[in-house]
Amino acid sequence: MPLVPPYIESLRPYEAGRTIESVRRQYGLNHVAKLASNENPLGASPKALEAMTRDLKGLSLYPNGGLDLREVLAREYDVKLDNVIAGSGSEGIMSNIIRAFLCDDDEVLTTDAAFIGFQVLAKSRGVKYRTVPYDNWHYDLPALAAQINENTKIIYLANPNNPTGTIFTRHQFDEFYQHVPERVLIILDEAYFEYAKDNPRYPDSMHYRYDNVITLRTFSKIYGLAGVRIGYGFAHEELIRNLLKVKLPFEPSTPAQAAGIGALADKEFLHRSLELNARGLRYLTDGLQGLGMKVIESQANFVMTVLDSEQDASRIFEELLSQGVVVRPLKAFGLPNCIRVSTGTDEDNQLCIEAWRKSYGANVAAGRTG
Ligand SMILES: Cc1ncc(COP(=O)(O)O)c(C=O)c1O
């Protein structure tokens, strides 16, 4: 027996985007625009920061497993405490779902090039991981339904989806749901729901609850708390009860829980972040399309561009990097010819389009791209 199981040996460790400091040093730049990880360019919610600071005096005591945040969420969403879980980011909860519910012969089903965090977690469990291709960069829900078999245990859907930024509608979900047996658990990852919630075509899953669906959400995106690691989920009490058995007893940490509670009350910050993002999405989409790029219409805080080849994508990535703009090449997701650009401040969005124009212009002049 090898020490390391083959399904772990074959995994590639998660590669986070480049840090601002390392790019600044490498290229001797004063300013770097980090548009690689779908973070909030306004920083963290001020109310979250206040709440964290207030709670620092309790750091010598163990936290209460997210109970305070769960109570606030239960009140806010009008559900029972038993329907809510809090964890170290939504990925922390995903990891608990995988640990609690997957047996060796179970299978996971999702789209090709799904959110990489989920890919890594599911594959690390060593179960069969099956995917279907996108349909015009949207989840192909009918194709997914057709792939469900007696071993399917978890179906992962992100709405809006990362990295494409696309959504599915309530009608599409309901059609799909008719084909899903009760024994199958659907993870509905709504990390970006705040960005899409005002779109009438977007279905907020808190308005359509099913017993075998777990909704996951996070404070990492619109509330600017990615570094704190705090997320939450809603599900049937049986599912939550079992998740609570496997979760680390003391996650989330005291400051993380306080930050989440503070952030939920920060409507002003939410509003400002949404406005900046809407402007950024329009600017980046128009700017990139104006350069002849194929851009997928996004309902989140990033846009995906589809280039002609992997070489084009890595060339643009490197050239943007050298000009102080960090974007996300999507090879690790399984889309080697695609690049994802997060919305930034107005200035950073402009810097990105300007840098892209320079790189692209240089490539056209050299006859390298079309
Ligand atoms: C679809 C999706 N789900 C979950 C996450 C991770 O969220 P968290 O920081 O709460 O673990 C991300 C982060 O990029 C994401 O894109």
Q: Is the CB of 190 under 6 A from ligand 1?
A: no
| 335 C-beta neighbours (distance < 10 Å), count | 22
Beta bridge partners of 342: 302
Q: Is the CB of 110 under 6 A from ligand 1?
A: no
What pLDDT shows up at residue 368? 66
Q: Is the CB of 117 under 6 A from ligand 1?
A: yes
What pLDDT shows up at residue 154? 98
Q: Is the CB of 324 under 6 A from ligand 1?
A: no
- The CA distances from residue 48 to 174, 256, 284, 364, in Å, are 36, 9, 29, 46
What pLDDT shows up at residue 85? 98
What pLDDT shows up at residue 370? 46
- Tokens in use for 223? 């509330």
- Taking the C-alpha atoms of residue 97 and residue 118, their distance in angstroms, rounded to an integer, is 11
Cα–ligand 1 centroid distance for 191 (angstroms)? 6
What pLDDT shows up at residue 365? 65
- Residue of 90, 98, 189 with the most ligand 1 atoms within 8 Å of its CB, for mutation: 90
What pLDDT shows up at residue 2? 81
- Taking the C-alpha atoms of residue 349 and residue 22, their distance in angstroms, rounded to an integer, is 20
Cα–ligand 1 centroid distance for 154 (angstroms)? 18
- Taking the C-alpha atoms of residue 160 and residue 154, their distance in angstroms, rounded to an integer, is 18
Question: Given the CA of residue 229, which atom of ligand 1 is nearest to it?
Answer: 9
Which portions of the chain are predicted below pLDDT 70?
362-370
- How long a stretch of residues is the chain? 370
What pLDDT shows up at residue 1? 72
- Taking the C-alpha atoms of residue 298 and residue 175, their distance in angstroms, rounded to an integer, is 23
What pLDDT shows up at residue 294? 97
Cβ neighbours of residue 21 closer than 8 Å, sequence gap 6 or more? none
pTM: 0.96
Helical residues (DSSP H) of the chain, grouped into ranges:
6-9, 20-27, 46-54, 67-77, 89-101, 116-123, 141-146, 170-177, 193-196, 237-246, 254-264, 267-290, 310-322, 346-365
Question: Given the CA of residue 92, which atom of ligand 1 is nearest to it?
Answer: 11
Q: Is the CB of 189 under 6 A from ligand 1?
A: yes
